[in-house]
Amino acid sequence: MLRQTDLFNQLVIADYLFDKDKIYAYLNLDDNELFIYQRLYDLLAPDLVTPDLVVYLQAPSDLVRQRVRQRLQQDADAVPLPNDEYLGELIEAYNHFFFHYNATPLLVVETSEFTLDWNAAALDDLIRQLRDMGRGTRYYVPRTGPGAS
């Protein structure tokens, strides 16, 4: 999002972080394209709004592959599954990026046990993690399942 006058101090929630766009650039562009990309990036980046908090939803590679395959089966219009090598490189690049990310507070949520039928207590706990974020990076593994409160 481009910087603009904040008349009402609105809360903005987005599912995109401009900084992570470089992951795809470095994986997919040749040197000439990367040079042009970097010039454009350097022009745009200073005018972007910095988020107050970033949440990275992390999962093991095999689970990401499984979820992508399930998504493809459910959505006929979905983009085709990238090959395993590319997907592995992408996951590794994301993990590397967020391991070194320090531009804003970062909450890394381990999503191996995440399901859409989380109980209210589990969602409340996630919201509490978001509200309690201070500086730096926090790793959060949700308590789920029968013993979770």
Answer yes or no: pTM beyond 0.85: no
Tokens of 101: 């990310």
Q: What is the pLDDT of residues 92-147, one digit of tens each?
A: 999 999 999 999 999 999 988 877 666 778 888 888 999 999 899 999 998 765 44
Tell me the residue length of the chain. Answer: 149
Domain range summary for the chain, segments of one domain joined by +: 16-49, 51-140
Tokens of 72: 């493809």
Q: What is the pLDDT of residues 47-65, one digit of tens each?
A: 888 888 999 999 998 998 8
